[in-house]
Amino acid sequence: MKNPPALSINQVVTVYLLPPPQLSPYQTPSKLSFRLRPSPSPGCSSAGMHTDHYTQEMAENVDRISDLIDPILVLVLSSLPSKHAVRTSVLSKRWRHLWAEIPYLDFEESLFIDNQIPPPPCITSLPWLMHVRNEGRRRFVAFVHRMLLLYKGKTIFRFRLRFCYDGEHVNNITQWIGFAIAKQVQELDLDFSGAGLAQDSRTGYRRYELPNYLFCYTSCSVLKLNFCQFKPFSFKIFSLLRMLSLIRIELSSELLLRVLTNCSVLETLHLEKCHGLSHLKISDSNLRLESLRIHDCRPLSQGVDICAPKLRSFKYFGHIVRFGPEKMLSLHEVSLDFGLQTLLYDQDQKLGKLLLHLDHVRVMSVCSYLIQVLPAEGQCLPTPLCNLRHLTLNTMLDNHELPGISFLLRSSPKLQSLSIELGLGREIKGYNPPRMDMSLVGGDYWQSEEQPFGCILNHLEFVRINWFTGAENEISLARYIVKNAMALKKMIIHICQDSTLDEINSMTSRLSREILDCPKASPDTSVTYV
């Protein structure tokens, strides 16, 4: 076993202490910082530390790590992958067995595979990579088996496994999961996708079939599954679940409904790349669901219907589908990203009606597709988004998107914060925005507005622009805001990091000339770029 990397004297070490098992898994971790100091000489007394032979600097040279009690050190080790936590056993006798009590076990196969090792001259690259992978897998399986054999902890709070399942080592995996359950694991995170490689059938990876006894377990509060065969014969495991994440799972609408029916205390649901869902329906008024994320689930041919009275956050990424949400007054944050849609959808006119159901939302993020098609609804929403305080625009700031940006700003009269994420747009093939004079671009377009939007005039206080490239439309919008926002306190412009040094110098020069030095509606406005 190799020695862990050495820490230098006076290096400041910061670790985040995760909550102990008896506390909520959603509790914010505490932060602990300490500075490494050389210990005084063995024969030196504490009184001698204050003599003329020792300076004040030496008086402060204390080994802060050794001063920590064992439970704190165990929490420090819990923030590391298990492979690195075990490596600390070589530091001293005191550290030799601390790793065996950490309540957070994190096993990741990729840490045991070094693809950077060059092959010998007589072996081609592909067979060598297979050899390296198989050797790394052998070491990984042996490591997990030995660590669990020597483990002394009474309970496991979180058990995380990242393993490229190819049909082998079934007994090992089953034993590992059984060990975690026997230790009353509260958070179980199983990923057999091989860091996404499982999407490619040529790799030979396949979905791991979860053992039946897993679904009879009743003490799990967080369950995360990736690339598994999800066929529960019992629903006891869902009785105390607060968080459920299913990724790359074959999931039918009927099965999802049965799962949700048995998740009486579920607070967070994450569905990603779950194929087989024709209809996603959540309509249990007793459900405690607070956060729902849907990412590229297909086909959803019958749409998405949501009625969750306690829902606070809803995030959607995928194709355009039919949405049938009921007004949920508790909903605070919404993100709509139709980034997979490249063609016009025959029900685009219903997207404006979707926003009408979200008029009580305070935080909203919208994609380029939504920005482009909204102007078909008119100049603004018939019922403005009066509660909206923060808006994020994912856009290229293309000419086709300018009317949609105007539409959203006009429909958000009390907006206080605006974030513009540049470069995240997508052109819709064959689409021409209505009522737009294509000769008006950049500054000409914004000057054509009869009067500034109400939110910019009276309420907008903060603007952030990310991945700024210095394009004309970017400069024009930033200048328009600065010249008209009477309540603006701060604008932060993050310059694109992919730019060359000459491009950055050119952008900063233009920013100073056209934005920093332009007349400002508010004398308190601060414009900075980083």
Mean pLDDT of all residues in 12-34: 42
Given a contact cutoff of 8 angstroms between Cβ atoms, the answer to whether 269 and 288 are in contact is: no
Q: Are strands 243-247 and 222-226 parallel, antiparallel or unpaired?
A: parallel
- Tokens 């332009």: give the residue: 518
Q: Is the dihedral of CA 220, 221, 227, 231 positive or negative?
A: positive
Give the pLDDT of residue 277: 93
Is the pLDDT higher at 395 or at 74? 395
The token pair at 351 is 């997207």
Query: In the structure, what pLDDT confidence band is assigned to residue 8 with cuts at 50, 70 and 90?
Result: very low
Question: Which of 156-170, 248-262, 332-346 is predicted with the least confidence, judged by mean pLDDT?
Answer: 332-346
Run of H or E residues at 359: none
- In 275-401, alpha helices (H): 350-356, 368-373
Peptide bond into 299 cis (omega under 30): yes
In the block, residue with structure tokens 């704190």: 72
- Bridge partners, 33 (sequence order): 14
- Of the candidates 313, 256, 246, the residue with the CA atom closest to the CA atom of residue 279: 256
Name the class of domain 342-529.
alpha beta
In the chain, what is the straight-line distance between the N-terminal and C-terminal CA atoms, in Å? 43
DSSP annotation of 323: B
Q: What is the pLDDT of residue 53?
A: 47
The β-bridge relationship of strands 30-35 and 12-17 is: antiparallel
460-473 pLDDT, tens per residue?
Answer: 999 999 999 888 89
Lowest mean pLDDT among 211-215, 233-237, 436-440: 436-440
Segment 151-179 shows an average pLDDT of: 91
Is 176 in contact with 146 (CB distance < 8 Å)? no
Q: What's the mean per-residue pLDDT of the chain?
A: 80
Phi, psi of 478 (to 5 degrees): -60, -40
DSSP state letter for 39:
P
pLDDT above 90 for 456? no
Tell me how far apart the alpha carbons of residues 421 and 397 are, in angstroms, rounded to a whole number. Answer: 10
Higher pLDDT, 9 or 396: 396
Alpha-carbon torsion, ordered 333, 395, 478, 464, to 10 deg:
40
Cα pseudo-dihedral 137, 140, 146, 151, rounded to 10: -140
**What amino acid is encoded at 437 in this protein?**
D
* Burial of residue 406 (number of CB atoms within 10 Å: 0-12, 13-18, 19+): buried
**Maximum distance among all alpha carbons in the chain?**
86
* Per-residue exposure over 301-318, b if at least 16 CB sit within 10 Å of its own CB, e if not: eeebebbbeebbbbbbbb
**Residue 491 DSSP symbol:** E
Which amino acid would we find at residue 246? L
pLDDT of residue 180: 95
CB 402 within 8 A of CB 436: yes
Average pLDDT score over residue span 335-351:
74
Write the DSSP assignment of 82-114 as a string of letters: HHHHHHGGGS-TTTTTGGGG-SEEEEEGGGG--
Q: What is the pLDDT of residue 3?
A: 46
Return the domain boundaries, the chain.
Answer: 342-529
Least confident window among 54-68, 91-105, 221-235, 420-434: 54-68
Strands 526-529 and 490-495, by their bridges, are parallel
Kindly state the percentage of the chain with pLDDT values over 70: 76
Q: Please check whether residue 306 is in contact with residue 325, taking contact to mean a CB–CB distance below 8 angstroms.
A: yes
What is the average pLDDT across 170-190? 94
Q: At what angle do helices 170-182 and 125-150 cross, to 10 degrees?
A: 30
Whole-number pLDDT of residue 346: 60
pLDDT band at 420 (very low <50, low <70, confident <90, very high): very high
The pLDDT of residue 150 is 86
Predicted local confidence at residue 288, as pLDDT: 92
pLDDT of residue 217: 93
Which pLDDT band, with edges at 50, 70 and 90, does 296 fall under?
A: very high
What sign for the dihedral angle of Cα 272, 283, 344, 373? negative
Q: Is the CB of residue 363 less than 8 Å from the CB of residue 332?
A: yes
Q: Residue range 172-190: average pLDDT?
A: 95
pLDDT at 50 over 60: no
Tokens of 384: 């403005």
The pLDDT tens digits of the residues spanning 33-46 come to 444 444 444 444 44
Q: Is the pLDDT of residue 222 over 90?
A: yes
pLDDT digits (tens, 9 = 90+) for 344-398: 666 556 677 788 888 899 999 999 988 888 876 567 888 899 999 999 999 999 8
Residue 144 has pLDDT above 70, yes or no: yes
- Alpha helix stretches (DSSP H) within 151-252: 170-182
> What phi and psi, each to the nearest 5 degrees, are found at residue 259?
-60, -50
- Which pLDDT band, with edges at 50, 70 and 90, does 415 fall under? very high
- Most confident by average pLDDT, 145-149, 264-268, 424-428, 499-503: 264-268
pLDDT at 31: 45
| Residue 28 pLDDT greater than 80, yes or no | no
pLDDT value of residue 525: 92
pLDDT of residue 45: 47
